[in-house]
Amino acid sequence: MQEVHVMGQYSQLAVGDIYTFLEACGVTLLVTLVSLVLGTLLGTALGLVRCSKNKIISSLPLIIMEPLRNSPLVVQLFLVYYGLPMVFGILLDAYPAAILTLSLNTAAFFAVLVHNSITAIPVSQWEAGYALGHGKASTFVNVIFRQALRLLIPQAITLYINQLQCSSMISLISLRDICRIGQLVSVRTMQPFLVWGIVFALYYVISFPLARLASYLEKRVNFSY
């Protein structure tokens, strides 16, 4: 690997930097993907509990969701990485701290999407299911959830893109993700426009196709009740 920063001397962008950036993409994608998977699972669970008819049960997930949705991700990250060890003596490495924070944050937003998609399906669809002899669970699985999923997927992709970009925060706890490597290489080469241009391009190349996919899927959903 190219030495990233040598004190007192600047060096040109080199072939070795390509590998460094590729490794950094690996870090960004690893942390983001693991967090999105965990966040989606937890968010689905929270979102389903939000749909409960019992008002007390349905508001329980808000206890976790509201703080996560109403504070900056970077603050949550510092709280977990620097705060937990001080108060609870839980010392997390940078990776687990990053993944834990990003997963919880994703879960909070994902739960809202799940809840909204399910409640967006009109009551008449439930009744049509019941009237054919489906029970509650069967109506949910075969009628409601499959429609809700189509509303959910494009919004979920948009959330995922946003979380990918927010994952750049993990550079602040010195994980060597794309953004962190951008900082280091930019300082070493003194070519910030070029280096940040590369960083920009890397995020863009991953995000843009996903964004197109989301808007394509959104247009395909043409339910009118």
Residue ranges binding another protein (CB under 8 A)? 124-125, 127-128, 130-135, 138, 142-143, 146-147, 150, 222-225
Residues comprising the chain, all counted: 225
**Token duo for residue 186:** 């930019």
Nearer to another protein, 200 or 223 (CB): 223
What residue type is assigned to position 187 of the chain? V
Q: Is the dihedral of CA 215, 219, 220, 221 positive or negative?
A: positive
Give the shortest CB-114-to-another protein separation in angstroms.
17
Nearest by Cα to 203 from 6, 28, 64? 28
Nearer to another protein, 12 or 222 (CB): 222
Alpha-carbon distances, residue 184 vs 19, 123, 192, 193 (angstroms): 14, 55, 10, 13
Give the shortest CB-57-to-another protein separation in angstroms.
20
Give the shortest CB-94-to-another protein separation in angstroms.
43
Give the shortest CB-215-to-another protein separation in angstroms.
20
Give the shortest CB-62-to-another protein separation in angstroms.
29
Nearer to another protein, 75 or 128 (CB): 128
Question: Contact, 38 vs 104, CB < 8 A?
Answer: no
Cα distance between residue 217 and residue 220, in whole Å: 5
Nearer to another protein, 5 or 146 (CB): 146
Nearer to another protein, 59 or 116 (CB): 116
What residue type is assigned to position 98 of the chain? A
Alpha-carbon distances, residue 165 vs 17, 57, 192 (angstroms): 21, 33, 19
